[in-house]
Amino acid sequence: MTTDSIRFAHRFDGISGSAIREIFKLLAVPGMISFAGGNPAASALPDEQCAELARELLLTKGKTLLQYGATEGYAPLRESLAPYLKDRFSFSCAPEEILPVTGSTQAMDLLCKALIDPGDKVVVENPTFLGNMQAIRLYQAELVPVDSDEDGVKVDELEEVFKREHPKLFYVIPTFQNPTGRTLSLPRRKKIAELAAKYGVVVAEDDPYRDLRYAGEELPSIKSFDTEGWVAFMGSFSKVISPGLRVGFLAANKTLLRKCIIGKQSSDVHTANLNQAIVDEYLRRGLLAPHVERICRSYAEQMNTMLGLLAKCGGVARYTRPQGGLFIFAELEEGMNAADLLMQCVDKGVAYVPGTHFYPFGGHENTFRLNFSMSSVEQIKAGMEKLNQVFSSVKA
Amino acid sequence: MTTDSIRFAHRFDGISGSAIREIFKLLAVPGMISFAGGNPAASALPDEQCAELARELLLTKGKTLLQYGATEGYAPLRESLAPYLKDRFSFSCAPEEILPVTGSTQAMDLLCKALIDPGDKVVVENPTFLGNMQAIRLYQAELVPVDSDEDGVKVDELEEVFKREHPKLFYVIPTFQNPTGRTLSLPRRKKIAELAAKYGVVVAEDDPYRDLRYAGEELPSIKSFDTEGWVAFMGSFSKVISPGLRVGFLAANKTLLRKCIIGKQSSDVHTANLNQAIVDEYLRRGLLAPHVERICRSYAEQMNTMLGLLAKCGGVARYTRPQGGLFIFAELEEGMNAADLLMQCVDKGVAYVPGTHFYPFGGHENTFRLNFSMSSVEQIKAGMEKLNQVFSSVKA
């Protein structure tokens, strides 16, 4: 029998892999200016610091770090995460309520593993991060989108959906959202914590961009308003230390976290100890704050350059004005199609991600997402001029 | 609403976490001699070598290693795995047919993700590795056990089961099996490759112990007899370099591997680059073979000491005589219960894992698994004497 007869699981029906990752393959051309990714700048990756930390950790604790670790995580990291969460995200939790994971993508996967049976409903923002939409779809959940405006997801609609659809999970990116760059307002954060407990819906609060703030005032997390334990908080060090290390964490009430830990036993046993220990040293030695401060100075200039040029870019009808993060979301004039225009732009040497991919049910073909962290100010100027040329010519 | 009302997914029905991991928590007592784990010896963990490799890699390739990587894996590692597989496991495959994973536990998870719908049947050896039994159960598969003898799983029974039950997957550990230490014979390896293609069953061949051979001749892998692509090969560096690094790999035909790659996008995006690069350097620089040779000298002495003492141990009716690996499987005399006796042994300061946990449907209460890699020859002598005291007193 040939392997054409392999009987695959139904969870893959209709799933063909991340569209965004296929776009990235088009971009491996020298000189391409990519506004498509969500990667940190190369200059933001602390290679020398990590080299010294890795060496020192392996020489002093190598026998522990190279041995099997606990699924529950590297104990020193859990201990240093607790005060970090209190300080940066305004909520208290015990080390036992924190699970280090292999990138926050794994946190999403474990929450779905713990909660989702086929046919269950999961509410997401419209638009939202497509990687996690795929994670949710692989659990054969039904996605229920709720629109957002300048203040983030619309909580009145959210309550209607909670009431009507009885979802198990609500996935939300409250700060400098992907793809919109928008930040959920304080009253809405409070309201979401209330609605979660009122309707019995677990909230997966995904907040990887928070430390990348270039303007405005910090807001407390949704979880800081969570009195009953319905909010599960997903954090990541991918945007502020390194994505290649694959270290994130999940903070949740003990009952929910226990299911996630059992799930993780069968996912990868535990997150690599060395990688957890490197992140622990960043927190423990106070290396994170000065590093983030340096990154932010540079990203702020890049974002402001892009925003200034968007104002003058032909064909662009409107765009978001984020106070931080990695992304700006823009809309072309009525009738223009950002998905169709991508290939023209790529031919000119500039790329973005068509916004349609971020909407659970597609549509919104005139939208697109721009990333500014991967490009220098000069590249941003050159790339925006190319976009201007393509969009202006189509408009005319 | 309190979180007592959280609606968990049905995949957790009847699953309470790894029994073996609960036993390990009992063992955190100073002076305890543990024959329970499956960890490498501390002396087998190359901390200084890893420290220098990590530093050098981060200083020379840090900007690449700390950035996002491809889900498909770190390209240099895929390239060095292909000749390694040819040399060590006797099968040819292209780098594109190899997926580095976050420990071979993830390979098992991804194969189940790709193939298993609730109610599907998965055949396993009776007994088998309990960690992967849990992984399979979390996909709500039905486990179908097939007995084994001194030559490994009984292939006549296996064919009957393939014919009758139409399983999607057969999970097998061919070399120095966990828990039995037995090695599947050459004719049976050939037969399994044939049966897989004849009945359309994917074989998950899990071979993490192969390099730990202390006697006898190497055998080619089941996959080396696989002409159609039905065998998926799971490898690990946990037993020969470091479990804490979490690097394993899956080699499979491209159609099956593609599903696993899509599944991995949502599991953890990619395996940490630094960890993949460290393993790559072990292969590329020829560091693995001399390291393994050194480990084997020591483990051989430990195993032979334990086997010699088992021959004189009261209450022990029979035991396996492995040619390598980490485990010996033993049987107490009729009517004795290894699960019940464990607490008496722990009180005396020695531990093992009751064999019943390795049987999908339990039973076999007189069996137990002994590990020899974690204990020195002196500890093995002392621990075996304690076992002898407990077992002899019960027998008498």
Are B244 and A273 a contacting pair at CB < 8 A?
yes
pLDDT digits (tens, 9 = 90+) for A261-276: 999 999 999 999 999 9
Tally of CB atoms within 10 A around B19? 14
pLDDT of B8 strictly over 60: yes
Q: Is A356 in contact with A363 (CB distance < 8 Å)?
A: yes
The first and second tokens of residue A373, run together, are 């962290």
pLDDT digits (tens, 9 = 90+) for B152-161: 999 999 999 9
> Cβ neighbours of residue A251 under 8 Å, at least 6 residues apart?
A81, A85, A91, A93, A97, A98, A99, A223, A232, A233, A235
Residue closest to B201 by CA, chosen among B172, B174, B224, B179:
B172
Span A248-254, average pLDDT: 98
pLDDT digits (tens, 9 = 90+) for B223-259: 999 999 999 999 999 999 999 999 999 999 999 999 9
pLDDT of A18 strictly over 70: no
Q: B59 contacts in A (CB within 8 Å)? A: 47-48, 51
Are B255 and A11 a contacting pair at CB < 8 A?
no
Inform me whether the C-beta atom of residue A13 falls under 8 Å from chain B C-beta atoms. no
Averaged pLDDT of chain A: 96
Nearest CA in chain B to A266: B135
CATH number of B47-287: 3.40.640.10
Q: B261 contacts in A (CB within 8 Å)? A: 17
Q: What is the pLDDT of residue B395?
A: 67
Phi, psi angle pair for B177, to nearest 5°: -55, 150
Nearest CA to CA, how far is B394 from chain A (Å)? 34
Span A326-344, average pLDDT: 96
Cα distances from A25 to residues A28, A347, A395, B77, B257, in angstroms, run: 6, 14, 28, 20, 19
Percent over 70 (pLDDT), chain A: 98
Fold designation for A47-288: Aspartate Aminotransferase; domain 2 (3.40.640)
CATH number of A10-45+290-395: 3.90.1150.10
Q: What is the pLDDT of residue A350?
A: 96
Q: A109 contacts in B (CB within 8 Å)? A: 266-268
Confidence of residue B97 (pLDDT cuts 50, 70, 90): very high
Q: What is the pLDDT of residue A97?
A: 98
The DSSP bridge partners found for residue B354 are B368
d(CA A128, CA A152): 11
Q: Which amino acid is residue A183, in one-letter code?
A: T
Are A58 and B47 a contacting pair at CB < 8 A?
yes
Are A67 and B259 a contacting pair at CB < 8 A?
no
pTM greater than 0.95: yes
Domain extent listing, chain B: 6-46+290-395, 47-287
d(CA B351, CA B339): 11
Confidence of residue A177 (pLDDT cuts 50, 70, 90): very high
Nearest to A45 among B66, B134, B246 (CB): B66
d(CA B387, CA B352): 10
Q: B131 contacts in A (CB within 8 Å)? A: 265-266, 269
Phi, psi angle pair for B111, to nearest 5°: -65, -40
d(CA B104, CA B98): 12
Q: A11 contacts in B (CB within 8 Å)? A: 113, 117
Are B109 and A266 a contacting pair at CB < 8 A?
yes
pLDDT of B341 strictly over 90: yes
Q: What is the pLDDT of residue B23?
A: 77
> In the sheet that A248-251 helps form, which strands lie side by side, from edge to edge?
A98-101, A248-251, A231-236, A202-206, A169-172, A121-126, A142-149, A152-153
Cα distances from A327 to residues A195, A330, B23, in angstroms, run: 28, 10, 48
Are B265 and A17 a contacting pair at CB < 8 A?
yes
Inform me whether the C-beta atom of residue B263 falls under 8 Å from chain A C-beta atoms. yes
Same fold, B6-46+290-395 and B47-287: no
Percent over 90 (pLDDT), chain B: 94
DSSP code of residue A41: P
Q: How far apart are the first and last CA of chain B?
A: 58
DSSP code of residue A213: B
pLDDT digits (tens, 9 = 90+) for B10-42: 999 988 776 677 777 778 788 999 999 999 999
Percent over 70 (pLDDT), chain B: 98
Q: B4 contacts in A (CB within 8 Å)? A: 255
Compute the Cα dihedral for B166, B171, B174, B180 and give only its sign.
Answer: negative
Element housing A232 (H / E) = strand A231-236
Nearest to A267 among B42, B265, B267 (CB): B267
Confidence of residue B211 (pLDDT cuts 50, 70, 90): very high
DSSP track, B114-182: HHPPTT-EEEEEES--HHHHHHHHHTTPEEEEEEEETTEE-HHHHHHHHHHH--SEEEE--SS-TTT--
DSSP track, A135-154: HHHHTTPEEEEEEEETTEE-
Q: Is A140 in contact with A289 (CB distance < 8 Å)?
A: no
Are B259 and A8 a contacting pair at CB < 8 A?
yes
Q: Cis omega (within 30 of 0) on the bond before B167?
A: no
pLDDT of B135 strictly over 70: yes
Q: What is the pLDDT of residue A373?
A: 97
Are A11 and B117 a contacting pair at CB < 8 A?
yes
Q: Which amino acid is residue B26, in one-letter code?
A: L
**CATH superfamily to which B6-46+290-395 belongs:** Aspartate Aminotransferase, domain 1 (3.90.1150.10)
Phi, psi angle pair for A277, to nearest 5°: -70, -35
Q: What is the pLDDT of residue A395?
A: 67
